Structure 1
């Protein structure tokens, strides 16, 4: 079986809230003749992104082609989750023409690429490309360390030590593994921020990479699909901080699910999420809110102190009206009781 008959897979990586789900939703709605399938790898116990995508299912990407893995990083659960999921998609009739994999925002892409070397699937699929999304405003602001000044001071004190934070390593690994970088939310960054973000990416990339500005996930699929990168055969060109390690750890990050009653005041909840992000170094909040007197559920997506929300669909007739929010942070910043108290107000 040659590469032309292998099923192409595109890995979509990027930091928390960089716009991965929005991009995939755009690709689903503009398949250009491809029958797509999607694997969503969530961090935490409550699937949000998969639910969003299933609500956008169309004939070229029906709901049964959208699978969600919420049992941890798929590169750490290859035999139990990843291989069976890939095989189930390949067994569909009709078979998908292209598979999109949305990694969690905390995933390291290179270990996932190594999973494609498993004998059960290597002869049947190929990694068409790795697409890294980078939030232009966040990159320009250098938000890859909880306290950049403190890290810089430590480096100056002892330049023989590596004091990079886990967040910086995640970002650098995603850029190093990419075939193309999509610079998202350029409107929030402005011209100066975009220029700075491009410079940061160029400095981190191990080789020249195309960087494309993308707003609201709107990119021509021809730019990112059909790259033919065969990334699984090109591992040496994609260096990682974790090269040579037997595995990689996810203990740097943790998540907690907070369940609340129906919410009376949405702006007050938004303000509490903003305060929570600033006071407890919360990276991400996402989930659904039951708003009193409203027939539709409220989708909430927060990156740091930047909160977006919208009503996405009516509550189902047998669906419990409850508020469930996934809160993600570095391990030491997760205190379920304190987070819940902050959200209740």
Structure 2
């Protein structure tokens, strides 16, 4: 019996992993059954909520599994292996499995887990895909190029202190079989060339690189590559694993928390509050949904550094609680109380 191919999708905070998965599920070949494992941050299932329904024939909602107990690279034995065993035990077999890691996940321990006896006989890594944010890299954010980061230190308070972000980004590139340089429509061709050259300097020889915007890529470039990446793990070294004797470990450098609010004064007040809070408290990533007075649909929110995007993704369902639910991610320690108070004051929460 042939092994079930698994695509591991990694990439830094806000690079566009969920958008890519949404595109994949919506355009996968008809008749192909896909299981999706999502490594979410916080107790609010933002990513699953965005993906649910976008590929009903390919990936039903019951085939989407969230792992929210922490970074998947640190919970392989506790969460990932049992989840895979449960999927493989189902009577209706899958044609493909897709894993969307969190933005802080080290791919190497996850790839190594595919050599565990519990799953090795039935599953293989089709390919490791790393999504990179072209616009963020052009600004010197989350880049492996230390010189580019140093040039922006004077204008970006978030980069004024020691940060593991560069090493983490390098590890994600080193693990990749394919790098998708996303959001290329946000920068000019000259800048894009410089960003691509910087990426290639950190990639393993032979790693593919393709351009994309809004996560739109040819599905044939994502599925069915058949690379068996778990057999090549020795050639994908990690800064973190080398420093810790090959052991995965918790990322104490990062912190996240969730908050819920019953209502906000309006969309403008909400966006202004988020922008102020991000600047004041060095928030790396903020995402979630909001209930806007007078709007019959929920407002999806995605913030990466200073870039904030919103859109109404779907109407509120009958009986669904209309509330604002946000996940905040940043370098540890985040001041949970101060951030929550900042959002509450600026948004003028109404009872």
Same fold (TM over 0.5): yes
Is it true that 1:18 corresponds to 2:19 in the alignment? Answer: no
Q: SS of the residue aligned with 1:288? A: strand
Task: Verify the 8 A CA contact 1:274 1:305 in the aligned structure 2.
Answer: yes
277 and 93 in structure 1: CA distance in 2 versus 1, 3 angstrom threshold: same
Deviation of 1:264 after TM superposition, in Å, equals: 2.3
- The 5 Å alignment of 1:90-105 reads 90-105=88-103
- For the 8 Å contact 1:139–1:200, the answer to whether it is kept is no
- Is 1:340–2:345 an aligned residue pair? no
**CA RMSD for the aligned pairs?**
2.0
| Equivalence for 1:224 | 222
Show the counterpart of 1:109: 107
| Alpha-carbon shift at residue 137 of structure 1 (Å) | 1.0
Q: Deviations over 1:54-112 (max 9, x none)?
A: 13231121111111111112232223321222122223343110000000011111111
Contact kept, 8 Å, 1:35 with 1:61, in 2: the verdict is: yes
1:48 aligns with one of 41, 46, 71: 46
The aligned runs of 1:267-278 (5 Å cut-off) are 267-278=268-279
* Structure-1 separation of matches of 2:241 and 2:290: 41
Alpha-carbon offset, residue 190 of structure 1: 1.9
Q: In the TM superposition, what are the counterparts of 1:138-149 in structure 2 within 5 Å?
A: 138-144=136-142
Whether contact under 8 Å (2:10, 2:107) holds in the other structure is yes
Aligned length: 330
Q: Where in structure 2 are the equivalents of 1:5-84 lying within 5 Å?
A: 5-33=2-30, 34-84=32-82
Distance in 1 (alpha carbons) for counterparts of 2:53 and 2:99? 17
Distance 1:276 1:251 in 2: 22
1:119-154 per-residue CA deviation (whole Å, 9 max, x = no partner) reads 110111000100000000111222138xx789859x
1:54-203 matched pairs, under 5 angstroms: 54-144=52-142, 165-203=163-201
Question: Residues of 2 paired with 1:45 and 1:254: CA distance?
Answer: 13
Moved more, 289-298 or 84-93: 84-93
Whether the 8 Å contact between 2:3 and 2:124 is mirrored in structure 1 is yes
Tell whether 2:237 aligns with 1:239: yes
Separation in 2, partners of 1:305, 1:55 = 30
Query: Are the structure 2 counterparts of residues 150 and 313 from structure 1 closer, same or farther at C-alpha, using a change threshold of 3 Å?
Result: closer
Task: Indicate the larger mover: 318-327 or 203-212.
Answer: 203-212
Give CA deviations for 1:208-230 in whole Å, capped at 9, x if unaligned. 42211111111111112111111
SS of residue in 1 equivalent to 2:201: helix
Are the counterparts in 2 of residues 289 and 299 from structure 1 also a CA contact under 8 Å? yes
Q: Which runs of 5+ in 1 are unaligned?
A: 154-162
Structure 1 runs (4+) greater than 3 angstroms displaced: 148-153
Q: Distance in 1 between matches of 2:116 and 2:239?
A: 22
Distance 1:74 1:274, change over 3 A: same
Question: SS of 1:204's equivalent?
Answer: coil
Match of 1:265? 266
Could you tell me whether the CA contact under 8 Å between 2:140 and 2:148 is conserved in 1?
A: no
Distance in 2 between residues matched to 1:91 and 1:202, nearest whole Å: 40
Separation in structure 2 between the aligned mates of residue 96 and residue 209 of structure 1, nearest angstrom: 27
Matches within 5 A, 1:325-336: 325-332=326-333, 334-336=334-336
Q: In 2, distance between residues paired with 1:195 and 1:336? A: 40
